[in-house]
């Protein structure tokens, strides 16, 4: 008989941190949030239509029925974690109190994108969830080092998640889990450790992958056009779905890849630092890669986030590829 989901996942988390370190994070926060991904997966599979519901989030983005479903499921999971004191999302971008009054040593805030990939979900392509977990009761005006964990949920033929930990004083870790179906965030779905260690490889590479986001920008930026031409001429394999989560996770699972989402005078930055860039940057760095701002080449995790709608472009993936693209586009 399969172990309860918390046991498999918690045991692995406990193996990554010294005994007694961050018990709420290990036994409550990460397991509950990962379990919520199985409920979202189940909700997506039972949602036969994807439609706008006639409302927009605070950023003015039209909301889909599945966006709202995913938001509600994650909020429900958060409400069951007394050590999470505040949370905000792309659908509700205000750091609101969860109502927790628990007297606990660990206090966290969560910033998340409940369903990343609205533009590709209608044709039934792979989409995902992005979650960042921060020390304290706010992710704003803080050192990016306060983000101590991140989760990328992937909804495709299988439901999986890549999880990263970077707790001060402990070694960074990144691993992948496979998720069984669950009817709710509390259901006894199975969680299997698929890859105990996710790591981007060192050269030489058997296959090189590239994911050029916002290719329309190549019509505005000759350097970006030349970069894409370079990848093609050097026989890189194109792996771009239009979804940030599956494209980044592809690189992590394959052990190599470069994702580029440029910024030009016409093509403005679209990715929000709190809900998309910082969690992805933490995961990529914990896997041995780099994640930098496509506008100025600085590390995504170098400067504090000042407001929830702060945006930037992104270059991330294998370190040597990111350095090459930085020089190619920015120098």
Exposure string for 32-71, b = 16+ CB within 10 A, e = fewer = bbbbbbbbbbbbbeeeeeeeeeeeebeeeeebbebbbbbb
pTM of the model: 0.93
Select 209-330's CATH number: 3.40.190.80, 1.10.10.60, 3.10.20.30, 3.30.300.160: 3.40.190.80
36: nearest Cα among 110, 102, 146: 110
The per-residue pLDDT for 80 is 96
The per-residue pLDDT for 47 is 78
Q: Is the pLDDT of residue 130 over 80?
A: yes
**pLDDT confidence of 187, banded at 50, 70, 90?**
very low
Of 38-42, 107-111, 189-193, 321-325, least confident by mean pLDDT is 189-193
Domain ranges across the chain: 5-195, 209-330
User: Can you name the CATH fold of 5-195?
Assistant: Fructose-1,6-Bisphosphatase; Chain A, domain 1 (3.30.540)
Higher pLDDT, 188 or 282: 282
pLDDT digits (tens, 9 = 90+) for 223-278: 999 999 999 999 999 999 999 999 999 999 999 999 999 998 888 889 999 999 99
């Amino acid at each position: 008989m399969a172990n309860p989901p918390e046991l498999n996942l918690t045991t692995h988390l406990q193996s990554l941190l010294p005994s007694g370190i961050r018990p709420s994070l290990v036994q409550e926060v990460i397991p509950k949030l990962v379990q919520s991904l199985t409920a979202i997966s189940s909700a997506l599979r039972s949602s036969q239509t994807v439609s706008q519901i006639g409302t927009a989030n605070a950023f003015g983005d039209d909301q889909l029925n599945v966006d709202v479903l995913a938001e509600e499921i994650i909020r429900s999971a958060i409400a069951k974690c007394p050590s999470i004191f505040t949370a905000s999302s792309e659908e509700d971008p205000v750091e609101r109190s969860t109502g927790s009054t628990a007297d606990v040593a660990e206090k966290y805030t969560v910033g998340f994108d409940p369903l990343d990939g609205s533009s590709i979900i209608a044709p039934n392509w792979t989409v995902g969830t992005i979650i960042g977990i921060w020390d304290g009761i706010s992710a704003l005006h803080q050192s990016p080092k306060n983000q101590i964990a991140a989760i990328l949920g992937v909804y495709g033929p299988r439901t999986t998640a890549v999880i990263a930990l970077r707790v001060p004083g402990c070694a960074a870790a990144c691993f992948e889990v496979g998720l069984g179906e669950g009817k709710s965030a509390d259901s006894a779905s199975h969680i299997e450790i698929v890859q105990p260690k996710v790591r981007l490889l060192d050269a030489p590479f058997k296959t090189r992958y590239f994911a050029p986001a916002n290719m329309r920008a190549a019509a505005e930026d000759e350097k970006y056009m030349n970069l894409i031409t370079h990848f093609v001429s050097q026989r890189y394999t194109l792996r771009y779905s239009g979804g940030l989560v599956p494209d980044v996770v592809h690189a992590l699972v394959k052990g190599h890849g470069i994702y580029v989402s440029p910024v030009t005078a016409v093509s403005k930055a679209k990715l929000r630092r709190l809900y998309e860039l910082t969690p992805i940057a933490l995961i990529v760095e914990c896997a041995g890669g780099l994640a930098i701002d496509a506008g100025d080449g600085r590390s995504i995790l170098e400067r504090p986030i000042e407001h929830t709608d702060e945006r930037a472009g992104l270059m991330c993936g294998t370190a040597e590829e990111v350095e090459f693209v930085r020089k190619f586009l920015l120098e």
